[in-house]
Structures are given as C-alpha cells and as structure tokens.
Chain A
Amino acid sequence: QKEVEQDPGPLSVPEGAIVSLNCTYSNSAFQYFMWYRQYSRKGPELLMYTYSSGNKEDGRFTAQVDKSSKYISLFIRDSQPSDSATYLCAMSARGNYQLIWGAGTKLIIKP
C-alpha cells in the first residue's frame, strides 16, 4: 500500500462547477500538507500549504485536512478552464524534510 493515495482521474467538470480533489494517507506522523498544481510540460508549483488539521482558504481555493480520517481535500470554487492541470498532494512529517507525493489527479474544466 502506498503511503499517499490519489485518484489519477481524469476528472472532467463544466466551467463554474465546484471541484473536490482528495488524497488519503497512512502515516499518522504527517503534519505538513501541500497541494501543487502542474500544467502540461511544466514543473509543479505550490498552490496551498496547511499545517496539521483544519481549513485554509485562498481566493477560490480551500484546503482541508482531517487528520482523524487521514484525508485531505482541495476545493476549487467557480472553476475556470485555466484550472485544467494535474493536482498533486504532498506531505511530510515534522522533523523529516522529505515530501511524500501522491500520483496526481488530472483535472479538465470544460468551457
């Protein structure tokens, strides 16, 4: 079993829809949770970063962490065609610098 599981998709939704992207993990020591966005033929770029549990909001994006369920989510409101990309979750434990990555979910927003 992988430490971080992420549905590869693709997830196709119409423009303006609310998108929910998710990752599950097995290591209860993870405390730092990140979402990276990767456009085709580009490197990943950090989108959201959350420490421990709770929600964090940044514009149209909300990151949510549920440590009791070992489940993290990224919500995108009012989705735009420019949001079409692969979304990768990544996480690490306190004191351990290495990021553990999910496989990424490919998101397609249809105009």
Chain B
Amino acid sequence: EAGVAQSPRYKIIEKRQSVAFWCNPISGHATLYWYQQILGQGPKLLIQFQNNGVVDDSQLPKDRFSAERLKGVDSTLKIQPAKLEDSAVYLCASSLEGYYQETQYFGPGTRLLVL
C-alpha cells in the first residue's frame, strides 16, 4: 500500500514570495490533514478536510494561507505572501474516516525555509 506522498520535499523562498505544497493521501482515505511543525514543537493542525469539505480550519491564518482538496483526493496548501515565521515542516496526513481515535498516516513533509 502506497503511503502519503508530498512534494516538494524542500523549498527555500524569500519573504513575501508565494509557495505551494502538494499532497496525495492514501487511496480510499476520506480525511486529509495539513499540519505545521516548527522545529522543537509538535504538529499544529492547520486544516482538516473530509472528502471535499473543510471540517476545521480554525488555526489556518486565512489572510495568507489557503488550501483546497481537489475532487476529494489530492490537496494543495498555499502561502501568499510568506513570512519568516512560516519556516517549518508542513506535514500532510490522511485517515480512513476522520474519527478521533483513528490512526493518522503522515507523509514525509515539506521543509520550508523563508529568508
């Protein structure tokens, strides 16, 4: 079974530039999560999708971050414009149905450095 795929693996940009990350979840998983993990901290949920719909985006900085899930499968997270404090690893995860006790399967993450 293929795991969660993410690209790119690394990205370096200057502040005020824009950047986009892509995620392909495990086939058949209805729920997709985007997390931000700053060095030395646990993952912070940015947005959760259930199929096409948004379940929770309460911690997504909506003035600069946006996300979409195409046809309930792939997802893209965009930052525009980027700030220095956006430097982090962006993790995508998926789970079968999104219940609270379900296992979340993580991709390798995209490391973003904003200069």
Contact = CB atoms under 8 A, between A and B. Distances in A.
Nearest to A2: B42
Contact of A42 (B93, B100, B108): B108
A97 B98 contact: yes
A103 B91 contact: no
A14 interface: no
Interface residues of B, number: 24
A101 B104 CA distance: 13
Interface residues of A, number: 26
A44 B106 CA distance: 6
Interface of B: 4, 40-45, 48, 55-56, 91, 93, 98-101, 103-109, 111
Interface of A: 4, 6, 8, 32, 41-46, 49, 51, 88, 90, 92-99, 101-104
